[in-house]
Structure 1
Amino acid sequence: MRLPVTPAATLWRALRDEARRTYPRGRVMIAVDGEDGAGKTRFADNLAAVFREDGSAVFRASMDDFHRPRAERYARGRTSPEGFYRDSYDEATFRRVLIDPFRSGATPDAGFQLAAFDLVRDEPRPAEWVTAPRDAVLIVDGMFLHRPELRGIWHWSIWLDAPLDVRYARMAERDGTDPDPAAESNRRYREGQELYLKDARPRAAASVIVDNTDPAAPSRVYQDFC
Protein backbone atom coordinates (compact mmCIF):
# COMPACT_ATOMS: atom_id res chain seq x y z
CA MET A 1 0.00 0.00 0.00
CA ARG A 2 1.48 3.34 -1.08
CA LEU A 3 1.40 6.40 1.11
CA PRO A 4 -0.32 9.49 -0.34
CA VAL A 5 1.83 11.96 -2.23
CA THR A 6 2.69 14.65 0.32
CA PRO A 7 5.77 16.79 0.99
CA ALA A 8 6.75 14.42 3.80
CA ALA A 9 6.27 11.26 1.73
CA THR A 10 8.29 12.81 -1.09
CA LEU A 11 11.22 13.29 1.30
CA TRP A 12 10.87 9.78 2.78
CA ARG A 13 10.96 8.28 -0.72
CA ALA A 14 13.97 10.39 -1.68
CA LEU A 15 15.83 9.17 1.41
CA ARG A 16 14.86 5.57 0.63
CA ASP A 17 16.13 5.91 -2.93
CA GLU A 18 19.39 7.45 -1.75
CA ALA A 19 20.01 4.61 0.67
CA ARG A 20 19.10 2.05 -1.99
CA ARG A 21 21.58 3.45 -4.49
CA THR A 22 24.36 2.59 -2.05
CA TYR A 23 22.84 -0.56 -0.54
CA PRO A 24 20.62 -2.26 -3.14
CA ARG A 25 20.89 -5.78 -1.67
CA GLY A 26 21.72 -7.70 1.47
CA ARG A 27 21.00 -6.84 5.08
CA VAL A 28 20.83 -3.05 5.56
CA MET A 29 20.70 -1.33 8.95
CA ILE A 30 19.43 2.24 9.23
CA ALA A 31 19.36 4.48 12.32
CA VAL A 32 16.92 7.33 12.98
CA ASP A 33 18.54 9.37 15.74
CA GLY A 34 17.70 12.66 17.41
CA GLU A 35 17.10 14.32 20.73
CA ASP A 36 13.97 13.53 22.73
CA GLY A 37 10.87 14.96 21.07
CA ALA A 38 12.43 15.20 17.60
CA GLY A 39 9.83 12.80 16.15
CA LYS A 40 12.05 9.76 15.65
CA THR A 41 9.50 6.97 16.04
CA ARG A 42 6.93 8.36 13.63
CA PHE A 43 9.62 9.29 11.11
CA ALA A 44 11.12 5.79 11.27
CA ASP A 45 7.67 4.21 10.89
CA ASN A 46 7.03 6.24 7.75
CA LEU A 47 10.47 5.53 6.35
CA ALA A 48 9.76 1.83 6.84
CA ALA A 49 6.45 2.26 4.99
CA VAL A 50 8.12 3.69 1.89
CA PHE A 51 10.73 0.93 1.92
CA ARG A 52 7.88 -1.59 1.89
CA GLU A 53 6.48 0.15 -1.20
CA ASP A 54 9.39 -1.18 -3.27
CA GLY A 55 8.85 -4.70 -1.96
CA SER A 56 11.56 -4.65 0.69
CA ALA A 57 11.32 -6.87 3.74
CA VAL A 58 11.43 -4.28 6.52
CA PHE A 59 11.85 -4.74 10.27
CA ARG A 60 11.38 -2.02 12.91
CA ALA A 61 12.97 -1.74 16.32
CA SER A 62 13.41 0.96 18.92
CA MET A 63 16.10 1.51 21.52
CA ASP A 64 13.25 2.09 23.99
CA ASP A 65 12.87 -1.69 23.97
CA PHE A 66 16.51 -2.16 24.99
CA HIS A 67 16.63 -0.20 28.24
CA ARG A 68 18.65 -1.32 31.22
CA PRO A 69 16.86 -2.15 34.50
CA ARG A 70 15.87 0.83 36.63
CA ALA A 71 18.52 0.12 39.26
CA GLU A 72 21.25 0.35 36.60
CA ARG A 73 19.76 3.41 34.91
CA TYR A 74 19.78 5.33 38.20
CA ALA A 75 23.00 3.93 39.67
CA ARG A 76 24.72 7.34 39.36
CA GLY A 77 21.73 9.10 40.96
CA ARG A 78 18.12 9.70 40.00
CA THR A 79 18.91 13.13 38.53
CA SER A 80 22.33 12.39 36.98
CA PRO A 81 22.70 13.61 33.37
CA GLU A 82 25.71 11.33 32.91
CA GLY A 83 23.64 8.39 34.11
CA PHE A 84 20.96 9.23 31.55
CA TYR A 85 23.49 9.29 28.71
CA ARG A 86 25.73 6.42 29.72
CA ASP A 87 23.41 4.02 31.55
CA SER A 88 19.97 4.20 29.92
CA TYR A 89 20.41 1.56 27.22
CA ASP A 90 21.74 -1.98 27.14
CA GLU A 91 23.96 -1.80 24.06
CA ALA A 92 25.46 -5.24 24.73
CA THR A 93 22.08 -6.99 24.59
CA PHE A 94 21.03 -4.82 21.64
CA ARG A 95 24.02 -6.01 19.66
CA ARG A 96 23.85 -9.62 20.83
CA VAL A 97 20.17 -10.37 20.13
CA LEU A 98 19.42 -7.96 17.27
CA ILE A 99 22.31 -6.31 15.48
CA ASP A 100 24.82 -9.15 15.25
CA PRO A 101 22.38 -11.89 14.13
CA PHE A 102 20.58 -9.55 11.72
CA ARG A 103 23.84 -8.31 10.23
CA SER A 104 25.32 -11.76 9.76
CA GLY A 105 22.40 -13.02 7.68
CA ALA A 106 24.30 -16.28 7.44
CA THR A 107 21.12 -18.25 6.82
CA PRO A 108 17.55 -17.05 6.31
CA ASP A 109 16.42 -18.99 9.38
CA ALA A 110 18.89 -17.25 11.73
CA GLY A 111 16.74 -15.54 14.37
CA PHE A 112 16.94 -12.13 16.02
CA GLN A 113 14.89 -10.21 18.58
CA LEU A 114 13.31 -6.81 17.90
CA ALA A 115 12.71 -6.07 21.59
CA ALA A 116 14.31 -7.28 24.81
CA PHE A 117 13.13 -5.14 27.75
CA ASP A 118 9.76 -3.97 29.07
CA LEU A 119 10.35 -0.47 30.44
CA VAL A 120 6.98 -0.24 32.20
CA ARG A 121 7.38 -3.56 34.01
CA ASP A 122 11.12 -3.02 34.46
CA GLU A 123 11.90 -6.57 33.39
CA PRO A 124 13.16 -8.48 30.35
CA ARG A 125 10.60 -9.37 27.71
CA PRO A 126 10.06 -13.03 26.83
CA ALA A 127 12.32 -13.86 23.90
CA GLU A 128 10.50 -13.67 20.57
CA TRP A 129 12.72 -14.66 17.67
CA VAL A 130 11.96 -13.57 14.11
CA THR A 131 13.70 -14.34 10.83
CA ALA A 132 14.34 -12.39 7.65
CA PRO A 133 15.27 -13.10 4.04
CA ARG A 134 18.82 -12.45 2.89
CA ASP A 135 17.73 -9.06 1.52
CA ALA A 136 16.12 -7.10 4.37
CA VAL A 137 16.10 -3.64 5.96
CA LEU A 138 16.24 -2.98 9.70
CA ILE A 139 15.22 0.54 10.80
CA VAL A 140 15.97 1.47 14.40
CA ASP A 141 14.84 4.67 16.09
CA GLY A 142 16.13 6.02 19.37
CA MET A 143 18.43 8.37 21.20
CA PHE A 144 22.21 8.05 21.31
CA LEU A 145 22.42 5.84 18.20
CA HIS A 146 25.61 7.58 17.04
CA ARG A 147 27.43 7.15 20.35
CA PRO A 148 30.93 5.74 19.89
CA GLU A 149 29.86 2.24 20.95
CA LEU A 150 27.23 2.05 18.18
CA ARG A 151 28.40 4.37 15.44
CA GLY A 152 30.14 1.74 13.35
CA ILE A 153 27.18 -0.63 13.02
CA TRP A 154 24.96 1.49 10.75
CA HIS A 155 25.03 1.33 6.99
CA TRP A 156 23.07 4.58 6.80
CA SER A 157 21.70 7.00 9.37
CA ILE A 158 19.46 10.03 9.81
CA TRP A 159 19.68 12.78 12.41
CA LEU A 160 16.40 14.60 13.12
CA ASP A 161 16.57 18.23 14.19
CA ALA A 162 13.83 20.30 15.82
CA PRO A 163 14.02 23.45 17.97
CA LEU A 164 14.28 23.06 21.73
CA ASP A 165 10.90 24.67 22.47
CA VAL A 166 9.15 22.53 19.86
CA ARG A 167 10.62 19.32 21.24
CA TYR A 168 9.73 20.10 24.85
CA ALA A 169 6.19 21.10 23.87
CA ARG A 170 5.81 17.73 22.12
CA MET A 171 7.11 15.86 25.16
CA ALA A 172 4.76 17.79 27.45
CA GLU A 173 1.81 16.78 25.30
CA ARG A 174 3.03 13.19 24.98
CA ASP A 175 4.29 12.50 28.51
CA GLY A 176 2.81 15.23 30.69
CA THR A 177 6.25 16.70 31.44
CA ASP A 178 7.10 20.36 32.05
CA PRO A 179 7.27 22.19 28.68
CA ASP A 180 9.98 24.51 30.01
CA PRO A 181 13.37 23.11 28.91
CA ALA A 182 15.02 24.87 31.87
CA ALA A 183 12.77 23.21 34.46
CA GLU A 184 14.66 21.27 37.12
CA SER A 185 12.64 18.14 36.27
CA ASN A 186 14.13 18.27 32.76
CA ARG A 187 17.76 18.81 33.79
CA ARG A 188 18.79 15.13 33.76
CA TYR A 189 17.53 14.66 30.23
CA ARG A 190 18.52 18.02 28.78
CA GLU A 191 22.08 17.89 30.10
CA GLY A 192 22.41 14.18 29.30
CA GLN A 193 21.63 14.90 25.69
CA GLU A 194 24.08 17.80 25.72
CA LEU A 195 26.75 15.32 26.84
CA TYR A 196 25.83 13.13 23.87
CA LEU A 197 26.09 16.01 21.40
CA LYS A 198 29.53 16.89 22.72
CA ASP A 199 30.79 13.31 22.98
CA ALA A 200 29.48 11.85 19.72
CA ARG A 201 28.84 14.83 17.38
CA PRO A 202 25.90 12.95 15.83
CA ARG A 203 25.11 15.62 13.25
CA ALA A 204 28.57 15.11 11.74
CA ALA A 205 28.28 11.33 11.95
CA ALA A 206 24.86 11.00 10.32
CA SER A 207 24.44 10.27 6.63
CA VAL A 208 21.57 12.76 6.42
CA ILE A 209 20.23 15.61 8.58
CA VAL A 210 16.50 16.38 8.46
CA ASP A 211 14.71 19.38 9.93
CA ASN A 212 11.62 17.84 11.49
CA THR A 213 10.16 20.99 13.02
CA ASP A 214 7.01 20.37 10.99
CA PRO A 215 6.50 16.60 10.62
CA ALA A 216 4.07 17.23 7.77
CA ALA A 217 6.81 19.00 5.79
CA PRO A 218 10.26 17.82 6.92
CA SER A 219 13.20 19.13 4.93
CA ARG A 220 16.73 17.99 4.22
CA VAL A 221 19.48 20.09 5.81
CA TYR A 222 22.78 20.53 4.04
CA GLN A 223 25.54 21.48 6.44
CA ASP A 224 29.19 22.31 5.96
CA PHE A 225 31.28 20.68 8.67
CA CYS A 226 34.61 22.06 7.47
Structure 2
Amino acid sequence: MKVRPLTPEALVAELVDRIDALPRTTWARVLLDGAPPTRPGSLADALVEPLRALGRPVRRVSAGDFLRPASVRLEFGRTDPDSFRDSWLDVAGLVREVLEPLDPGGSGRVLPSLWNVATDRASRADYVTLAEGGVLLLDGTLLLDKWLPAELTVHLHLSDAALARQTDPDRQWTLPAYDGYRPQADVTVRYDHPARPALVGTVG
Protein backbone atom coordinates (compact mmCIF):
# COMPACT_ATOMS: atom_id res chain seq x y z
CA MET A 1 0.00 0.00 0.00
CA LYS A 2 1.37 3.41 -0.97
CA VAL A 3 1.88 5.73 2.00
CA ARG A 4 2.92 9.37 1.61
CA PRO A 5 4.13 11.16 4.75
CA LEU A 6 2.99 14.76 5.12
CA THR A 7 3.37 17.64 7.50
CA PRO A 8 0.12 18.89 9.10
CA GLU A 9 0.36 21.97 6.88
CA ALA A 10 0.79 19.84 3.77
CA LEU A 11 -2.23 17.74 4.77
CA VAL A 12 -4.37 20.87 4.99
CA ALA A 13 -3.08 22.03 1.60
CA GLU A 14 -3.77 18.61 0.07
CA LEU A 15 -7.35 18.57 1.34
CA VAL A 16 -7.97 22.17 0.29
CA ASP A 17 -6.82 21.30 -3.24
CA ARG A 18 -9.09 18.25 -3.38
CA ILE A 19 -12.08 20.17 -2.09
CA ASP A 20 -11.55 23.11 -4.41
CA ALA A 21 -11.36 20.72 -7.35
CA LEU A 22 -15.01 19.78 -6.72
CA PRO A 23 -17.51 21.52 -9.01
CA ARG A 24 -18.60 25.01 -8.05
CA THR A 25 -21.96 24.62 -9.76
CA THR A 26 -23.42 23.04 -6.63
CA TRP A 27 -22.41 22.47 -3.02
CA ALA A 28 -19.58 20.29 -1.73
CA ARG A 29 -20.34 18.21 1.38
CA VAL A 30 -17.12 17.12 3.05
CA LEU A 31 -17.18 14.64 5.95
CA LEU A 32 -14.16 14.52 8.25
CA ASP A 33 -14.37 11.35 10.32
CA GLY A 34 -12.16 10.23 13.16
CA ALA A 35 -12.18 8.97 16.72
CA PRO A 36 -12.15 11.80 19.30
CA PRO A 37 -8.35 11.64 19.87
CA THR A 38 -7.79 12.60 16.22
CA ARG A 39 -9.77 15.83 16.73
CA PRO A 40 -11.40 15.88 13.28
CA GLY A 41 -13.04 19.18 14.19
CA SER A 42 -9.65 20.85 14.48
CA LEU A 43 -8.70 19.68 11.00
CA ALA A 44 -12.04 20.89 9.66
CA ASP A 45 -11.45 24.29 11.28
CA ALA A 46 -8.03 24.51 9.65
CA LEU A 47 -9.62 24.17 6.21
CA VAL A 48 -12.01 27.09 6.59
CA GLU A 49 -9.84 30.12 5.88
CA PRO A 50 -7.80 28.56 3.02
CA LEU A 51 -11.04 27.62 1.28
CA ARG A 52 -12.52 31.07 1.81
CA ALA A 53 -9.33 32.57 0.39
CA LEU A 54 -10.10 30.63 -2.80
CA GLY A 55 -13.54 32.19 -2.97
CA ARG A 56 -15.42 29.24 -1.48
CA PRO A 57 -18.17 30.03 1.04
CA VAL A 58 -17.80 27.62 3.98
CA ARG A 59 -20.16 26.37 6.67
CA ARG A 60 -18.85 24.36 9.63
CA VAL A 61 -21.11 21.81 11.31
CA SER A 62 -20.27 19.22 13.97
CA ALA A 63 -22.09 15.91 14.30
CA GLY A 64 -21.84 16.38 18.07
CA ASP A 65 -24.56 19.02 17.72
CA PHE A 66 -26.90 16.43 16.18
CA LEU A 67 -27.05 13.84 18.94
CA ARG A 68 -30.32 12.38 20.11
CA PRO A 69 -31.93 13.41 23.41
CA ALA A 70 -30.48 11.73 26.49
CA SER A 71 -33.68 9.75 27.05
CA VAL A 72 -33.08 8.01 23.72
CA ARG A 73 -29.30 8.13 23.53
CA LEU A 74 -28.75 6.65 26.97
CA GLU A 75 -31.62 4.16 26.98
CA PHE A 76 -29.18 1.30 27.62
CA GLY A 77 -26.94 3.26 29.98
CA ARG A 78 -24.22 5.86 29.68
CA THR A 79 -21.47 3.42 28.75
CA ASP A 80 -23.02 1.13 26.16
CA PRO A 81 -20.63 0.93 23.16
CA ASP A 82 -23.26 -0.47 20.78
CA SER A 83 -25.54 2.50 21.44
CA PHE A 84 -22.59 4.86 21.05
CA ARG A 85 -21.87 3.46 17.60
CA ASP A 86 -25.39 2.98 16.28
CA SER A 87 -27.85 5.16 18.22
CA TRP A 88 -26.27 8.32 19.57
CA LEU A 89 -26.26 10.30 16.34
CA ASP A 90 -29.57 11.62 15.02
CA VAL A 91 -28.81 10.50 11.48
CA ALA A 92 -32.24 11.42 10.15
CA GLY A 93 -32.01 14.90 11.63
CA LEU A 94 -28.52 15.45 10.26
CA VAL A 95 -29.55 14.36 6.78
CA ARG A 96 -32.79 16.33 6.83
CA GLU A 97 -31.41 19.58 8.23
CA VAL A 98 -27.87 19.68 6.84
CA LEU A 99 -27.07 17.26 4.04
CA GLU A 100 -30.24 16.96 1.93
CA PRO A 101 -30.65 20.74 1.54
CA LEU A 102 -27.28 20.64 -0.25
CA ASP A 103 -28.38 18.03 -2.78
CA PRO A 104 -28.30 19.31 -6.38
CA GLY A 105 -31.35 21.52 -6.71
CA GLY A 106 -31.67 21.83 -2.93
CA SER A 107 -32.48 24.96 -0.96
CA GLY A 108 -29.02 25.48 0.53
CA ARG A 109 -30.66 26.26 3.90
CA VAL A 110 -28.70 24.50 6.65
CA LEU A 111 -29.39 24.21 10.36
CA PRO A 112 -25.98 24.53 12.05
CA SER A 113 -27.03 22.65 15.19
CA LEU A 114 -30.07 20.74 16.35
CA TRP A 115 -29.49 19.58 19.93
CA ASN A 116 -27.54 21.02 22.87
CA VAL A 117 -26.15 18.02 24.75
CA ALA A 118 -25.20 20.09 27.81
CA THR A 119 -28.76 21.31 28.39
CA ASP A 120 -30.45 18.34 26.68
CA ARG A 121 -32.67 20.74 24.79
CA ALA A 122 -33.10 21.92 21.23
CA SER A 123 -30.33 24.33 20.31
CA ARG A 124 -32.74 26.90 18.84
CA ALA A 125 -30.22 27.72 16.13
CA ASP A 126 -31.33 29.72 13.11
CA TYR A 127 -31.11 28.39 9.58
CA VAL A 128 -28.36 29.79 7.38
CA THR A 129 -28.05 29.69 3.61
CA LEU A 130 -24.86 28.40 2.02
CA ALA A 131 -24.26 29.97 -1.38
CA GLU A 132 -23.91 27.67 -4.37
CA GLY A 133 -20.34 26.56 -4.77
CA GLY A 134 -20.02 26.59 -1.02
CA VAL A 135 -18.46 23.90 1.12
CA LEU A 136 -19.97 22.16 4.11
CA LEU A 137 -17.33 20.81 6.51
CA LEU A 138 -18.91 18.24 8.81
CA ASP A 139 -16.78 16.59 11.49
CA GLY A 140 -17.62 13.67 13.73
CA THR A 141 -16.84 10.11 14.71
CA LEU A 142 -18.19 6.86 13.27
CA LEU A 143 -19.80 8.77 10.40
CA LEU A 144 -18.79 6.70 7.42
CA ASP A 145 -20.95 3.61 7.90
CA LYS A 146 -24.21 5.56 7.95
CA TRP A 147 -24.66 6.22 4.21
CA LEU A 148 -24.46 9.97 4.63
CA PRO A 149 -24.44 11.81 1.29
CA ALA A 150 -21.14 13.54 0.58
CA GLU A 151 -18.92 14.69 -2.25
CA LEU A 152 -15.71 13.95 -0.32
CA THR A 153 -15.03 11.80 2.73
CA VAL A 154 -11.89 11.92 4.88
CA HIS A 155 -11.04 9.34 7.54
CA LEU A 156 -8.38 9.93 10.18
CA HIS A 157 -7.23 6.41 10.98
CA LEU A 158 -5.77 5.32 14.32
CA SER A 159 -4.28 1.90 14.87
CA ASP A 160 -5.98 -0.08 17.62
CA ALA A 161 -3.02 0.50 19.93
CA ALA A 162 -2.97 4.25 19.32
CA LEU A 163 -6.73 4.49 19.78
CA ALA A 164 -6.54 2.71 23.13
CA ARG A 165 -3.53 4.75 24.25
CA GLN A 166 -4.92 8.13 23.25
CA THR A 167 -8.52 7.70 24.39
CA ASP A 168 -9.25 9.40 27.70
CA PRO A 169 -9.67 7.03 30.67
CA ASP A 170 -13.29 8.04 31.14
CA ARG A 171 -13.95 7.19 27.47
CA GLN A 172 -12.30 3.78 27.36
CA TRP A 173 -15.74 2.21 27.37
CA THR A 174 -16.22 3.49 23.78
CA LEU A 175 -13.34 1.39 22.38
CA PRO A 176 -15.46 -1.68 21.45
CA ALA A 177 -17.57 0.62 19.24
CA TYR A 178 -14.58 0.92 16.88
CA ASP A 179 -14.06 -2.84 16.52
CA GLY A 180 -14.26 -3.66 12.83
CA TYR A 181 -14.77 -0.01 11.83
CA ARG A 182 -12.69 0.26 8.66
CA PRO A 183 -14.58 2.70 6.47
CA GLN A 184 -13.94 3.23 2.79
CA ALA A 185 -13.13 6.91 2.50
CA ASP A 186 -12.07 9.01 -0.47
CA VAL A 187 -9.06 10.09 1.58
CA THR A 188 -7.59 8.03 4.41
CA VAL A 189 -4.92 9.51 6.66
CA ARG A 190 -2.82 7.59 9.13
CA TYR A 191 -3.05 9.71 12.26
CA ASP A 192 -1.29 7.82 15.04
CA HIS A 193 1.07 10.81 15.26
CA PRO A 194 -0.82 14.01 14.34
CA ALA A 195 2.45 15.86 13.82
CA ARG A 196 3.40 13.26 11.19
CA PRO A 197 0.24 12.32 9.28
CA ALA A 198 0.51 10.03 6.27
CA LEU A 199 -1.79 9.86 3.27
CA VAL A 200 -2.72 6.32 2.29
CA GLY A 201 -5.16 4.79 -0.21
CA THR A 202 -7.61 7.00 -2.03
CA VAL A 203 -10.72 6.10 -3.97
CA GLY A 204 -11.62 7.87 -7.20
TM > 0.5 fold call: yes
Identity of aligned residues (%): 25
- 1:127 to 1:223, Cα distance in 2 relative to 1, 3 A: closer
1:206-225 CA-to-partner distances (Å, cap 9, x unmatched) read: 0011122333332212389x
* Residue 78 of structure 1: how far off its partner (Å): 3.3
Q: Which structure has more strand as a fraction of its residues?
A: 2
Number of residue equivalences: 198
Structure 1 residue identity aligned to 2:125: A
- In 2, Cα distance between equivalents of 1:170 and 1:120: 24
Of 159, 165, 172, which residue of structure 2 is paired with 1:186?
Answer: 172
- In 1: Cα distance, 2:89 partner to 2:7 partner: 34
- Structure 2: where are the runs of 5+ without partners? 1-5
Partner of 2:83: 83
Aligned mates of 1:218, 1:49 — CA distance in 2: 21
Q: C-alpha distance in 2, partners of 1:168/1:128?
A: 38
Higher RCO structure, 1 or 2 (CA under 8 Å, sep 6+): 2
- Give RMSD over aligned pairs: 2.4
CA distance in 2, matches of 1:20, 1:99: 19
Deviation at 1:83, TM superposition (A): 1.2
| Cα shift at 1:45 | 1.0
Asked if structure 2 preserves the Cα contact closer than 8 Å seen for 1:39 and 1:212, the reply is no
Equivalent residue number for residue 196 of structure 2:
217
Q: Provide Cα deviations, 1:46-75, integer angstroms capped at 9, x if missing partner.
A: 122322221210111110000001111121
State the 1:100 CA deviation. Answer: 1.3
Structure 1 stretches of at least 4 aligned residues deviating more than 6 Å after TM superposition:
none
TM normalised by structure 2 equals: 0.85
Q: Name 2:3's counterpart in structure 1.
A: none
Q: How does 1:104-183 map to 2 (within 5 A)?
A: 104=104, 106=106, 110-150=108-148, 153-164=149-160, 166-168=162-164, 170-172=166-168, 177-178=169-170
Letter in 2 for 1:11: L
Shift in alpha-carbon separation, 1:121–1:40, aligned structure 2, 3 A: same
Q: Which residue of structure 2 lines up, in the alignment, with residue 3 of structure 1?
A: none
Higher helix content, 1 or 2 = 1
Distance 2:51 2:95 in 1: 23
